Structure 1
Amino acid sequence: MREQKKRATREALSAAALRLALERGPDNVRVDDIAEAAGVSPRTYNNYFSSREQAIVAAVTSEREARVAAAVADRPADVGLADAVIEAIVGQYTAPDEPGRDALLLITTRPALRDAFVDSTTAIEHPLTDAIAERLGDADPRTARVLAASVAAAVRLALEQWLQATAASATTGGLVVPSGSLPDLLRTALAPLTPALDAAEQRARRRRHQ
């Protein structure tokens, strides 16, 4: 119940932050405004977010790290680790409702929000470490952690490229046209990690057969 309450509070804060940012512009939203809209104190707000931008971005990235890890874990055993990881990343980062057009326009046209959106990729590292370790059954947790950190770094690079290009396409009329294919950028960024993921999987398979 406590975890559910914490999750609900975090969601209320991030939803309020995004709503107010869309209504007023992010520069006109204060932490006190977000806390009041969510029905909590500013002190409570500071327990969940370290910046206004982080709270705004969380509205479109909430629970994504858990969904990525779950998607990896749910892949059938006969699907290779590299394919499981890449398809999970592409699937969760390119879901139809993530982010919405208005949120995308807001994020791409504000450098601070773009940075916060890209920084959110670090949150996938720990859940993904657990998912990779479970698939490998590896006694050395460092392998899974290094692989997960590498995946997070690759995703960050892909998002940076995509957001920069998309921001450049935004017109003064308030239109934003996603530039380039995010799935293709993600696959390209993750492709160099395939040999490492394959090697880790093969090593784990040999260990199980010994």
Structure 2
Amino acid sequence: MTSDVGLRERKKRATRAALSDAAWSLMTESGIEAVTAEAVAAAVDVSPRTFRNYFASREEAILDRILQRVTTFVEALRARPAGEPVWDSLAYVLPDMIMEMLGERERDAATLARVCAENPAMLAQQLAALGHVERMIAEVIAERTGADVERDLAPHLLAAVPGFAMRAVVTLWAEGATDRPLPDLVRMSIAQLRDGLPLGRAAPPT
């Protein structure tokens, strides 16, 4: 019985992943309007009803592939040396995280940034996904620092850094404002945040 349950769960995860991958591919290849329950289901050879059993919206389906990959990042963060400063841990794992989330296809970053900017529903779903990710990261930071994730503010503030840093980096890159590789931009963003963002300080008197 246990093996049967395990097999069913693996099949469910595989179907969910296949549906999300198909939704992502349709968006990057044909635009978000091409992502319908019928089109995604046809790509995976299941019924539209099956799609709706897994996802409440096309936006949720598109971003689910990224959300699932974040688990790898959270575990990588948890596995960093216990005495390592959290900023250093973030600088180490975030570049790999962003490339893993995008499937090592930087052009997809530009597509995702553009779609989120143009589609309020997609932006809302992205923010909801980021909120879920931030909670997981806050829990890891609290474990590493001895903080109380339910009462202390610091783990939540630091957990917000990856999502907002990556969104700023991807937007800057997607708009063609820099030709630096995405991983380098992520490292730069962490370094600037760690150093206290000099632009936030008062300018010296002239």
Q: Deviations over 1:114-168 (max 9, x none)?
A: 7355653223233324423433455x34257x44432342233223322332343
Aligned to 1:207: none
Aligned to 1:79: 84
Report the residue type matching 1:155 in the other structure.
P
**Counterpart contact for 1:68–1:124, Cα < 8 Å:** no
Structure 1 residue corresponding to 2:150, chosen from 137, 142, 145: 142
Structure 1 residue corresponding to 2:64, chosen from 58, 66, 71: 58
Alpha-carbon distance between aligned partners in 1 of 2:46 and 2:194, rounded to the nearest angstrom: 40
Aligned to 2:43: 37
Q: Secondary structure at the match of 1:37?
A: helix
Alpha-carbon distance between aligned partners in 2 of 1:159 and 1:50, rounded to the nearest angstrom: 26
For structure 1, which segment, 26-35 or 87-96, has the greater mean C-alpha deviation from structure 2 after superposition? 87-96
In the TM superposition, what are the counterparts of 1:155-194 in structure 2 within 5 Å?
A: 155-169=162-176, 181-189=185-193
**Counterpart contact for 2:134–2:163, Cα < 8 Å:** no
TM-score normalised by L of structure 1: 0.66
Identity of aligned residues (%): 28
Q: Secondary structure at the match of 2:175?
A: helix
Q: Deviations over 1:20-60 (max 9, x none)?
A: 2234322122122112322334344334433323322333x
| Per-residue deviation, 1:99 | 4.6
**Counterpart contact for 2:67–2:133, Cα < 8 Å:** no
TM-score normalised by L of structure 2: 0.67
Alpha-carbon distance between aligned partners in 2 of 1:46 and 1:96, rounded to the nearest angstrom: 24
Report the residue type matching 1:72 in the other structure.
L
Alpha-carbon distance between aligned partners in 2 of 1:187 and 1:47, rounded to the nearest angstrom: 43
For structure 1, which segment, 179-188 or 67-76, has the greater mean C-alpha deviation from structure 2 after superposition? 179-188
**Counterpart contact for 2:113–2:170, Cα < 8 Å:** yes
Unaligned runs of 5+ in 2: 1-5, 197-206
Aligned to 1:10: 16
Aligned to 2:98: 93
